Structure 1
Amino acid sequence: MISKVLIICTLLLIPLIVKANIDDQCLACICQVESGCRPLGCTWDVYSNSCGYYQLKQGYWQDCGSPGGSLEACAADKSCSDRCVRAYLQRYGTRCTGGRTPSCQDYARIHNGGPRGCTSSGTLSYGKRVSSCYSG
């Protein structure tokens, strides 16, 4: 009985996982808006440091699984930073989209404003900046 329940629960979650994959172009646009896609050092920004290609913060880095050994090390490594942003958006991508497939603007707003960032009016201009780069 338990295995049937586990299988059913797993099958119900698969569509959520599949729907939350950011494409390469959207990821590149977020990188471009954040840093010109350069490995910027850490600088103080609204209560905490923001670091690297995606201007990652400590909480964001922890939410993406803490890859690379430290925030600073991961943020300075493009491959690690990409994995972190993908994992974060995989985790939170469908939280504020009502179950639909997130758009690039949704992902950008979540990246900028946290798990429910795509519902915050404070992330609208950021989402538009990323969308203006994106042609997908």
Structure 2
Amino acid sequence: MISKTLIACVLVLVPLIVNASIDDACLACICQVESGCQPLGCRWDVYSNSCGYYQLKKGYWQDCGSPGGSLQACAADKDCADQCVRAYMQRYANRCTGGRTPTCRDYARVHNGGPGGCKSASTIGYGNRVMSCYSK
């Protein structure tokens, strides 16, 4: 007989098993919305600098594993910036899905609002902008 504790543990772990792998089209749309997919320099935006293709901030870059040697270097290198966004999504996108596979809208809202961004009303407009690109 399976114990209630074992069942509870399995139910808690199931959401962690879902693979948060953002597809290339969604990644391209986030890049387009953030910068026109251009390697923009750093600029002050909501209490900190935002840099490069995805307008990465220092905390985001640190959470993605700090690739490329510095925020500025990684944000300006498309491959490094792509790697950073993919790693960030792998780390955080499952937090808002309740066990289902994340959608492009989920990824967009996490990118815009951080680990809990998909639950914040402030990221709805951003998610809609990304989805208008993604659905074409």
Equivalent positions of 1:1-136 (< 5 A) are: 16=16, 18-135=18-135
Letter matched to residue 79 of structure 1: D
Instruction: Tell me the distance in 1 between the aligned counterparts of 2:41 and 2:14.
Output: 37
Identity level (%): 79
Q: SS of the counterpart of 1:72?
A: helix
CA contact (8 A) 1:56 1:75 kept: yes
TM-score, with length taken from structure 1 = 0.87
Instruction: Tell me the distance in 2 between the aligned counterparts of 1:120 and 1:100.
Output: 18
Deviation per CA, 1:41-77, whole angstroms, max 9, x where unpaired? 0000011000000000000000000000000000000
Cα offset, 1:99, TM superposition: 1.3
Cα offset, 1:16, TM superposition: 3.5
Q: Which runs of 5+ in 2 are unaligned?
A: 1-8
Q: Which runs of 5+ in 1 are unaligned?
A: 1-8
- Any runs of at least 4 consecutive aligned residues in structure 1 with deviations exceeding 2 A, and if so which? 12-19
RMSD: 1.8
Letter matched to residue 107 of structure 1: Y
CA contact (8 A) 2:15 2:99 kept: no
